[in-house]
Structure 1
């Protein structure tokens, strides 16, 4: 089964049994970045120096991506020339990206939605695993690439780049300290051997993801202070 990068990131985040997202706030940035990265790989969007351009409006055939492509196209059209910044789009899209990615996983039968009320009052939704085959293949692929030196394909390298940019290494390898895997993540994320356009996009995605997370963390810290 072919799933999108955003769905793969969501699968890594969701606890198989409880259905609760681990590192939920940061994972939301990763999922949002995964959708954008997939559109770049599909050659529907160009990412240059942190700015976005829609280069092809042709649908990809994947509902999660095509819905975003239409919204992104309208958003870019409403911005002044050169002002469509990736960081601004990620900030705007983050509020709905997780729900849409989880919804797609439910449609595929990979997770199931459970609704309950915390303290008998507050509605809570959780998404435990229903079919673990896709996540198992994903984790095996990441292990082969990161731990055993197998050369990754472009999509796997991009997935690694997003995880590295958001510092979510432990979602892929929860039992290993980050210092054990981070050097290999960084090596893969550098994009050596990839086409120049892909390498530049991967680098820009990393910098953009790191920047928006840092800005959000700073704002949260200032507000709490």
Structure 2
């Protein structure tokens, strides 16, 4: 599978080449949820809800989807504009809500399940993560993930740390990443990098609730992303509780 076909922008980080394709927000989220200490990805059981939320959030940032409140039906997603996104993942989600308004949680369930594999392959192809195939006890297949040498994760984490630990004003993508990490319920697994302390938790929850500040996004976009993040958090929480009972 080839990495996504979006063009690198000036604010993107990675190898630093102008020709490098831009990462999706969902790719960066998956990379941040990867724990280099043990090679695991946080929130595996409910991961597809927050990755789906990241896809919808990116569409909102690009002004390609909007939301409307529909009473008992909850929050509905609708595609905006006539031009489909170039990226395959974004385009698929945009087309899903093009001809019919979709309930947010239903849409997360529809677009989310295949995202982990697609995004993981992209991260490995880029060198952000490496994968090693081996065997346990000499015969049980085992796959081990490790952090690559691109420095991408460290750069992203430093931005999130500046916002959650130091209280810096976030840009829209960093605000979205921090909000989605919070929504995933996986912050405790990242405690070495994001201390599980009241100030950090409160800042993360504020971002999750849509308090991004005036510079991060317009009020309309912030409301859209807030609705998406809340629905992703609720869906992930319900699924996690069901799995534990």
TM-score bracket for the superposition, by shorter chain length: 0.7 to 0.9
CA displacement at 1:212 relative to structure 2:
0.8
Deviations along 1:63-119, one digit per CA (max 9) or x if unpaired, are: xxx2223322443357xx44x111111112222111111111112111122223455
Partners of 1:77 and 1:143 in 2: CA distance: 36
Matched residue count = 215
- Check if 1:140 corresponds to 2:158: yes
**Pairwise mapping of residues 27-66 of structure 1 onto structure 2 (< 5 A)?**
27-49=47-69, 50-56=75-81, 58=83, 60-61=85-86, 66=87
- From the two aligned structures, give the one with the greater strand fraction: 2
Instruction: Specify which structure has the higher proportion of helix.
Output: 1
TM-score, length-normalised on structure 1? 0.81
User: Per the alignment, do residues 23 and 140 of structure 1 end up closer, same or farther by CA in structure 2, a change over 3 Å counting?
Assistant: same
Runs of 5+ consecutive residues of structure 1 not aligned to the other structure: none
* CA positional deviation for 1:59: 5.1
| Structure 2 unaligned regions, length at least 5 | 1-12, 14-21, 70-74
Is residue 48–residue 109 contact of structure 2 (8 Å, CA) maintained in 1?
no
SS of residue in 2 equivalent to 1:91: helix
Q: What is the CA deviation profile of residues 15-67 of structure 1, one whole-angstrom value per residue up to 9, with x for unaligned ones? A: 32653323322444322221221111112222333211111353545xxxx22
Relative to the length of structure 2, the TM-score reads 0.75
Query: What is the root-mean-square deviation of aligned Cα atoms in Å?
Result: 2.6
Matched, 1:91 2:91: no
Query: Is contact 1:57–1:69 with CA below 8 Å preserved after alignment?
Result: no
Find runs of 4+ consecutive structure 1 residues off by over 6 angstroms: none
Partner of 2:129, secondary structure, is coil
Counterparts of 1:123 and 1:47, CA distance in 2: 44
CA deviations 1:157-188 (Å, max 9, x no partner) are 11122122223333554352243411111233
Once residues 63 and 142 of structure 2 are traced to their aligned partners in structure 1, the CA distance between those partners, rounded to angstroms, is 37
